Amino acid sequence: MKYLKSFFENTKLKNFEIEDIINCIENKGYIFTEIVKDQRDHNPDKPLRPLSVDDDGLITVDFDGGEAEVELSKVSKVEF
């Protein structure tokens, strides 16, 4: 049982909501993610500035001067 508890504590998912991303946009913050759609060369330690978020949780981010998309469920960290 101790192992099972430890496993779940170490694998907790970061559950961010659309409101978190809206606050991040308003405060000119950054998000971090492992996966950016259609971008294979993304460094997960590189902060991305969110530009907008839709009701389905799809976030448009500034990616090297262009735009790319990140799913809300893939966001690992929000800073603002």
Task: Tell me what the mean pLDDT of segment 46-72 comes to.
Answer: 95
Tokens of 62: 């500034």
Answering whether pTM is above 0.85, one says no
Enumerate residues 6+ apart whose C-beta is below 8 A from 47: 30, 31, 32, 79
pLDDT confidence of residue 7: 45
| Multiple choice CATH, 15-79, 2.30.30, 2.60.40, 1.10.240, 1.20.1260 | 2.30.30
CA-closest candidate to residue 41, choices 58, 24, 13, 66: 66
In 1-80, which ranges are E strands?
30-33, 49-53, 58-63, 66-71, 75-79
| 3-51 confidence digits (pLDDT tens) | 544 444 444 446 899 999 999 999 999 999 999 998 888 999 999 999 9
pLDDT confidence of residue 14: 66
CA-closest candidate to residue 78, choices 39, 50, 36: 50
**Are 20 and 78 within 8 A, CB to CB?**
yes
